[in-house]
Amino acid sequence: MTIYDIAKEAGVSASTVSRVVNNKPGVHPSTKEKIEKLLKKYHYSPNEMARGLIKQSNHMIGILVADIRNVHYTDGAYTVEKEFAKLGYCCIIFNTGSGSAEKTEYIQVLSKRRVEGVVMIGSTFQTKEVEEAVSQFMSEIPIVIVNGYLELPNVYGVLADECAGVSTLVDLLFSKGHTRLAFVNNCYTPSNLLKIKGFEEGLERQGVKEKAVVYDAETTLEGAYEVTKKLLREHPEIDGIIYSVDLLASGGGRALLDMGYHVPDQIAYTGIDNSVYAEFSTPKITSLDNKLLELSMMAARFLVDLLGGGKATKKVMVFSAIVERETT
């Protein structure tokens, strides 16, 4: 069903139908009414592809996220989608995974789809490969990265100060008498590298001279469980652990419980993200709120402004804050 079909049946030209569809003035009330009746009758729905073609604007944006199942990304994707749906935009979403080939590919796909803006969620998009793909295929449209940044004219970043945040976690643990700390990391994203940096800086500020204890773990409850046991076997002196994400803290906490440690007196620990995991675990986990939600909201707003022809700050940083619970 096209405007031509409607036009034919109404005995008018397609342009007149188009005017009615778009509520343009200058159509005789009677013909307008006649056309509207037909529009209803056939449930006419204008082809947005064709419309986008002449309008040179399709009101679509892209959302790139490594894996929407990660709690911290789910909220972000939700926020962005909602914010844009309100404005009549459609969101194309891709779970890119962590590989750079896929990221490059999806950037090209979004480019072919002629999206008008992109939100990338997660520091994992802050890579050379993404930068190159963007500069080649997406240099014309605004891009906002949640918790990441690229030095490109059309890229904007909203970041959490996780580095400073983690060093305040160190301070917190020290203030409670825990001075032999370890960091358990899940993967080496730019964000996590910052966390480790914050960990080291925190220790240094507290006057610790030795090399920081950092362990790697799989991003699973079991992974954290095992690594925590190993960590304390190899470093029995440890009395405080910072986990790079709440999920690990939850799994690790269970290991501590099973090993008979008393939390938080004997050993304290924290997560990062202030996610549902922190709230649901027993004991409830003290966590660094890195404001992912605010970040996504801000990213969405930035992109909205940019699309509206306005300006946005190239790079902003939001302060993270500790949410104390039962593990410190």
Residues that bind DNA (CB under 7 A): 2-4, 11-16, 18-19, 21-22, 24-32, 44, 46-47, 50-51, 53-56
Q: Which is nearer to a second copy, 27 or 115 (CB)?
A: 115
Query: Could you tell me the smallest distance in angstroms from the CB atom of residue 36 to a second copy?
Result: 16
Q: Which does 263 bind (CB under 5 to 8 A by kind): a second copy, DNA, none?
A: none
* 273 binds a second copy, rule: CB under 8 A: no
Cα Rg, the chain, nearest whole Å: 26
**Could you give the CA distance from residue 273 to residue 279 in angstroms, rounded to a whole number?**
11
DSSP one-letter string for 271-293: EES--HHHHHSSSPPEEEE--HH
**Could you give the CA distance from residue 164 to residue 162 in angstroms, rounded to a whole number?**
5
* 109 binds a second copy, rule: CB under 8 A: yes
Q: Which of 104, 167, 250, 270 binds a second copy (CB under 8 A)?
A: 250
Instruction: State the pairing for strand pair 90-95/60-65.
Output: parallel
The single-letter DSSP state of residue 237 is T
Q: Which does 193 bind (CB under 5 to 8 A by kind): a second copy, DNA, none?
A: none
* 90 binds a second copy, rule: CB under 8 A: yes
**Could you give the CA distance from residue 7 to residue 24 in angstroms, rounded to a whole number?**
16
User: How many CB atoms are located within 10 Å of the residue 53 CB?
Assistant: 12
Query: Could you tell me the smallest distance in angstroms from the CB atom of residue 15 to DNA?
Result: 3
User: How many CB atoms are located within 10 Å of the residue 108 CB?
Assistant: 14
Q: Which does 13 bind (CB under 5 to 8 A by kind): DNA, a second copy, none?
A: DNA
- In the region spanning residues 53 to 72, those forming contacts with a second copy, defined by CB under 8 A, are 53, 58, 60, 67-69
**Which stretch of DSSP H or E encloses residue 182?**
strand 181-185
23 Rama class: left (phi>0) / alpha (psi -120 to 50) / beta = left
Instruction: Report residue 322 as tokens.
Output: 């500790």
* 222 binds a second copy, rule: CB under 8 A: no
Q: Which of 11, 282, 314, 321 binds a second copy (CB under 8 A)?
A: 282
Query: Could you tell me the smallest distance in angstroms from the CB atom of residue 62 to DNA?
Result: 18
Q: Which does 69 bind (CB under 5 to 8 A by kind): a second copy, DNA, none?
A: a second copy
Q: What angle do CA 84, 89, 92 make, to 5 degrees?
A: 90
| Residues binding a second copy: number (CB under 8 A) | 44
Where along the sequence are the contacts to a second copy (CB under 8 A)? 43, 45-50, 52-53, 58, 60, 67-69, 74-75, 77-78, 81-82, 85, 90-95, 106, 108-109, 111-114, 136-137, 221, 250, 276-277, 279-282
